Amino acid sequence: MDNQLALLDQAKSTLVDLAIKFGPKLVVAIVIMIAGFYTARAIGRMFDRSIGRLQLEPPVRILLVRLLRLMIVVVFLIMALQNLGVELLPLIAGLGVAGAGIALAMQGVLGNLVAGFTIIFTRPFRVGEYISIVGVEGQIESIDLFATRLLHSDRSIVVVPNRKIVGEILHNYGRIRQLSLTVGIVRAADVDAALVIIKSAVSANANVLKEPAPVIGVSKLDTGSITLIVAPWVKVDDYVGAGGALNQAIVEKFAAGGIQYPAPAVAVRMANAQPVH
């Protein structure tokens, strides 16, 4: 019983000594951390307002603000640990070694991250634009730090790692695309009448843009036919539907106007033909 009381007295005495020695430092460390949280919040708000004019994607802007706040909190955490007398050099050295190993193991992920920041700040394309790159194409649906999502014309999603985009040849169509339709007519047909019919079909289509002006004219001359090109501009969302609607309208108007299509060429080959004596 006496031994237990002695142990309790010793424990109380130790706790009192620790409280006297580290209590004020602990209080100061807590105050530093509270100040750090409020400082990070205030600076984060100012930073969010300052980058608002850059027109970044909302998830990216939120992430940048959070990274800045985290960096500020880490600085205040280091100050609090120094106040408590924690040796930071061995801790920083250990974190450096661990960080090097993690960076080596995640070099692909880090490459996508760096490329993501490059895309965000150089802005070679924006959400809603249509691009073609690394053998794929589609409308930009989202730009994240690690990958860019494209909406293909068949409504499927193509996810391209950002490191595959930076440094590659990029074809950015913007928010409009140019149709490239061709129509064949017989050589004896009235070309002027056919062009008038095509122009009326193009102008009647609500999806065709007035500017830039559509390209309509003769593109190719063959022995028995003439090929006309129909290349109006439409919005990216209307690209697929507008082509089919224009083809249908031209077919109907050609039929009403008596414009004939060239007959398909037929190749005749004589097999095992005997020479004539």
Span(s) in the chain for CATH 3.30.70.100: 176-257
Helices (H) and strands (E) in the chain, counts: 6, 10
What whole-number distance in Å separates Cα of residue 14 and Cα of residue 226?
102
Per-residue pLDDT at 102: 57
The one-character DSSP state at 84 is: T
Burial environment of residue 112 by CB neighbours within 10 A (0 to 12, 13 to 18, 19 or more) = buried
Residues in the chain: 277
Q: What is the mean pLDDT of residues 77-87?
A: 77
User: The tokens of 17 are what?
Assistant: 């000594």
* Alpha-carbon torsion (220, 224, 230, 231), positive or negative: negative
Residue 145 pLDDT > 90 = no
The fold of the 2-86 domain, in CATH, is Helix Hairpins (1.10.287)
Which of 42-46, 200-204, 218-222 has the largest mean confidence?
200-204
| CATH 3.40.50.300 fits domain 176-257 | no
CATH of 124-174, one of 2.30.30.60, 3.20.20.60, 2.60.40.10, 1.10.357.10: 2.30.30.60
pLDDT tops 80 at residue 163: yes
> What are 196's two structure tokens?
């008038």
Query: Which tokens sit at 14?
Result: 């130790």
Give the tens place of pLDDT for each residue, 210-241: 999 999 999 888 888 899 999 999 999 898 88
Are 230 and 202 contacting, i.e. CB atoms less than 8 angstroms apart? yes
Going through 136-207 in order, the beta strands assigned E by DSSP cover 136-143, 147-151, 157-161, 171-174, 176-178, 181-186
pLDDT on residue 131: 93
Query: Which pTM does this prediction carry?
Result: 0.62
Per-residue confidence at 173, pLDDT binned at 50, 70, 90?
very high
Residue 246 has pLDDT above 90, yes or no: yes
First to last CA, the chain: 136
- pLDDT confidence of residue 1: 56
